[in-house]
Amino acid sequence: MTAVPGAFALVLHSHLPWLAHHGRWPVGEEWLYQSWAHSYLPVVDLLERLAAEGRRDVLTLGVTPVLAAQLDDPHCLRGMHHWLGNWQLRAHGAVPRLPELAAREHRAAARALERFEARWRHGASAVLRPLVDAGVVELLGGPLTHPFGPLLLPEVRAWALAGGLADTALRLGHRPAGIWAPECGYAPGMERGYATAGVRRFLVDGPALHGDTALARPVGDSGVLAFGRDLEVTYQVWSPKSGYPGGRDYRDFHTYDHPSGLKPARVTGRHVAPHDKRLYDPQRAAAAVARDAAAFVDVVRARLLALHARHGRPALVVAAFDTELFGHWWHEGPAWLETVLRALPDAGVRLTTLRGAEAAGFVGEPVELPASSWGSGKDWRVWAGEQVSDLVELNGQVQKTLVQTVADAPTPDQLANRLAEEALLALSSDWAFMVSKDSAADYARRRAHGHAAHVTELAELLRQGRRAEAVRLVAGWPPAPFGHVDARALVRA
């Protein structure tokens, strides 16, 4: 097929908050293991298949430090192995009621377990690094625990980002030059902090660039490039109201066979009650994957041609999603993704990464960006609105306590380091998001307030010089993600 002017960049953002040692079901480690089994394993598998064919610059992959820590953590690795084995057992138990579903799920679980034992038992870093080394993917990093940047004190923001980039370099041997800013959150001036940290590229949502996403744009005089999500293309796949995963023939996410936890139904229709949904049919789903992949390729081609006609030059289209959409939320997502990544080049569309787009000259004139995010309203309301006012106040106090405690620490101090990790966990953007969306809101509030209480209690003991008590206190807490956080670096940030 005739080549289309321009290029297409797919960006996947892989992130979950720190779930290890903080509950199993329905919210907690179960969330991690489901995402690992149904998204991370199959997405990496398809990338390895493309790598074996000599493909390069396939997509841009963000992996947050707090997720990477869990995918490398011995506790989580043991838990994942157990979860995969239990998946097989659950499938076996469903044989009398749902024999076809049980057989499919047992085969899928066996494949996943075999793959995990062969490739993942020593953690994700050993699996991901060859893809990064070979240039199959461009790696994006980010702050340590995914805090919402616009609401952070400047020194906390700089410290969390520097620590996150250092953690990624430690795990994967590459210090990312690009980041997925948590929640695509931006406040004017943040680009200067990015430049100081050595970050050259970051993501914003399309409206932050007034929809003009055909080129990356330097922000002010910083030299740092903002890449905007093209919502006309991205929303074909997933939007607040529609997208391919809602197609009638795809597996329904919300309908369970409760004794086994397996999912037997297809979507059937948007307003169809669970008990009226039809049984899932893999052949119908495969046909839907082929149909929707072809439709997406047509959308990308048409968009690139339209942008070329409008601007008089080749354009860039950036489509960006959570990695967990593909497999966890949308069962057929990995199959759709691989089909698209193979079909786009065959249709004359060049695949690239954000790094590749910059190198190819897809860069426009400097802009000034407004305060923005990719959340509801494209502003900060999800993380700073009235519904989460208690968390906003809490996070402000956590940061003040953190800065004061570290400033008072005369030498490197493991207790101050642990206080810093608890502060980072309290500041995770996930808690406010979950509360605003009323998704496991009680769990989210409990996590935020729990970590904040740890900060307050430990800071008071350190202030009073009661270090022996502080050591005993910390010994009773669940483990934290990182073993190398340096609280003293906050003073220098």
The binding site for substrate comprises 229, 246, 374, 430
Catalytic residue among 191, 322, 338, 421: 322
CA separation for the pair 139, 318 (Å, rounded): 16
- Residue 252 catalytic? no
Question: Where is the binding site, in residues?
Answer: 229, 246, 374, 430
Is residue 229 within 8 Å of 242, Cβ to Cβ? no
Measure the N-to-C terminal CA separation of the chain; round to a whole number of Å. 52
Q: Please answer whether residues 152 and 163 qualify as being in contact, where contact means their C-beta atoms are separated by less than 8 angstroms.
A: no
Q: At what angle do helices 154-172 and 125-133 cross, to 10 degrees?
A: 90
Cα Rg for the chain, rounded, in angstroms?
A: 23
Q: How far is residue 219's CA from residue 187's CA, in Å, rounded to a whole number?
A: 12
User: Would you say the C-alpha torsion 456, 461, 465, 471 has a positive or negative sign?
Assistant: negative
Nearest to 141 by CA among 39, 15, 8, 318: 15
The DSSP code sequence of 382-444 is HHHSGGGHHHHHHHHHHHHHHHHHHHH--S--HHHHHHHHHHHHHTBHHHHHHHHTTSSHHHH
- The Cα 275–Cα 476 span in angstroms is 46
Q: Identity (one letter) of the amino acid at 403?
A: V
* 450: CB partners within 8 A, 6+ apart: none
183 noted as active-site residue: yes
244: closest CA among 183, 197, 194, 289? Answer: 289
List, in sequence order, every residue forming a beta bridge with 201; answer none if it has no partner.
Answer: 178, 225
| Active-site option among 73, 105, 183, 358 | 183
- The dihedral over CA atoms of 461, 466, 468, 474, expressed in degrees to the nearest 10, equals 0
* Active site (catalytic) residues: 183, 322
